[in-house]
């Protein structure tokens, strides 16, 4: 059943949106004119081939796990969690990064329409790294934040539920193979990515990070108003 207006959630959404706008206006750098270079995404202090292999392995592993979860638990159930939004973003990041890295390893320079597409993908890959990244001084570390909140706040809350059946369901929802990947291995993946790749840190990307959070809170408000939870 549709729910009443979730005032606290709407207030949070407005705060996050305002934060995104203020950061984009306050930080130096204009994201509309800044153009990332493809070498920013494939550059590494070590082996370019090793970076390409790592991205390929993580990308397809994450995609496989996501597909299994989707068919097992249902796509609608997965879409409502911010964890899954961030996991799918990480999956896309590694798959696109693998494609760009392998082209670089093979010496295939894009041109024409492919060059324009690659440039757009490069912009969003840098943005995704700032949202997910765990390499200081990246302005956000969503993978680390979500993992910390899950094990220090959500799990203790699940164990504190007075009803035994509800407690078992809540704990099982957190302590499972998928959760260990999405609240643990995601941090490991991004730490290794930050070590292998030399992604540039752009201060004004902090506004994009807040925009990502605002997109989810807006979705949560709309979903609550439609289904009531």
Residue 91, pLDDT above cutoff 70: yes
Task: Please give the share of the chain, as a percent, with pLDDT higher than 70.
Answer: 79
pLDDT at 65: 92
- pTM across the whole model: 0.81
The answer for 112, left when phi > 0, alpha when psi is -120 to 50, beta otherwise, is: left
Q: Contact 190/133 with Cβ under 8 angstroms?
A: yes
CA gap 151, 143 in Å, rounded: 13
Angstrom CA distances, 61 to 88, 113, 149, stand at: 12, 29, 24
CA gap 18, 68 in Å, rounded: 37
Determine which of 43-57, 69-83, 92-106, 191-205 has the lowest per-residue pLDDT on average: 69-83
CA gap 161, 165 in Å, rounded: 9
Cα-flanking dihedrals φ and ψ of residue 152, to 5°? -100, -20
Token readout for 164 is 């035994």
Domain boundaries, the chain: 35-201
pLDDT at 43: 73
């Amino acid at each position: 059943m549709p729910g009443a207006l979730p005032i606290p959630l709407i207030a949070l959404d407005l705060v996050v949106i305002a934060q995104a706008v203020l950061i984009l206006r306050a930080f130096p750098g204009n994201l509309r004119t800044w153009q990332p270079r493809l070498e920013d995404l494939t550059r590494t202090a070590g082996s370019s081939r090793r970076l390409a292999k790592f991205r390929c392995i993580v990308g397809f592993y994450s995609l496989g796990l996501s597909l299994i979860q989707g068919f097992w638990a249902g796509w609608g159930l997965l879409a409502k969690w911010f964890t899954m939004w961030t996991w799918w973003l990480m999956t896309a990041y590694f798959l696109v990064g693998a494609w760009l890295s392998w082209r670089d390893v093979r010496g295939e320079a894009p041109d024409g329409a492919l060059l324009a597409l690659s440039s757009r993908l490069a912009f969003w890959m840098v943005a995704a790294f700032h949202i997910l990244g765990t390499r200081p001084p990246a302005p956000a570390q969503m993978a680390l934040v979500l993992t910390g909140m899950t094990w220090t706040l959500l799990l203790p809350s699940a164990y504190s539920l007075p009803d035994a059946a509800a407690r078992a369901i809540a704990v099982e929802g957190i302590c499972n193979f998928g959760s260990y990947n999405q609240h643990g291995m995601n941090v490991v993946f991004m730490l290794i990515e930050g070590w292998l790749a030399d992604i540039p840190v752009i201060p004004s990307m902090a506004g994009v990070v807040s925009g990502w959070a605002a997109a989810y809170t807006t979705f949560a408000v709309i979903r609550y108003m439609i289904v009531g939870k």
